[in-house]
């Protein structure tokens, strides 16, 4: 049996196996350069800026950028995280304050998603990248069968979750 330009079925299978092996190994493809973290001072400053914007403490560490966004590159980055309740301000206000941190940055293509009470945004400036996600949701077991906008649970009982990554590419 002949398949694909005179190759036999067996030869065709070998070509497929070789293509799979090369793609897994990254040979013959353009692989993204691994991410590198910002300097510790810049990470600490950004953690402080995030804390001020959100109104609750944000911690910083170093780890894989994929902890925040699945399509972030491999490597290491500054990671930021926080959880809080008891926050009285509006989600839109907090989101606006986060966006002011990156006001002169450009959008990172393909990294943007918004929903009721959640946002994921990515920004770039030169070789620096920031991706952040913020959610706030009512306590578990409340408002499950109604739109978030109709939920009457007081905002200070809602759970806020923040994650971000900052890296150089």
Q: What's residue 32's pLDDT?
A: 66
Provide the residue ranges of all domains of the chain, joining segments of one domain with +.
1-31, 32-168
58 contacts 47 by C-beta, under 8 angstroms: yes
Torsion angle of alpha carbons 141, 59, 169, 66, nearest 10°? -30
pLDDT in tens, 92-135: 999 999 999 999 999 998 888 988 889 999 999 999 999 999 99
pLDDT in tens, 37-73: 889 999 999 999 999 999 999 999 998 888 777 778 8
Q: What's residue 5's pLDDT?
A: 42
Other beta carbons less than 10 A from residue 120's beta carbon: 17
């Amino acid at each position: 049996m002949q398949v694909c330009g005179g190759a036999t079925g067996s030869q065709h299978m070998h070509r497929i196996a070789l293509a799979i092996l090369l793609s897994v190994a990254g040979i013959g493809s353009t692989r993204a350069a691994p991410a590198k973290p910002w300097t510790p001072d810049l990470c600490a400053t950004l953690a402080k800026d995030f804390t001020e914007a959100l109104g609750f403490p944000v911690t910083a560490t170093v780890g894989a950028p994929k902890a925040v966004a699945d399509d972030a590159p491999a490597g290491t980055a500054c990671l930021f995280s926080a959880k809080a309740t008891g926050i009285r301000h509006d989600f839109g206000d907090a989101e606006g304050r986060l966006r002011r941190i990156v006001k002169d940055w450009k959008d990172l293509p393909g990294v943007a998603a918004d929903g009721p009470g959640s946002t994921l945004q990515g920004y770039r400036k030169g070789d620096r990248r920031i991706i952040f996600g913020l959610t706030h949701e009512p306590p578990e077991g409340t408002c499950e069968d109604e739109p978030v906008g109709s939920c009457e649970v007081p905002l200070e009982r809602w759970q806020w979750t923040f994650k971000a990554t900052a890296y150089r590419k």
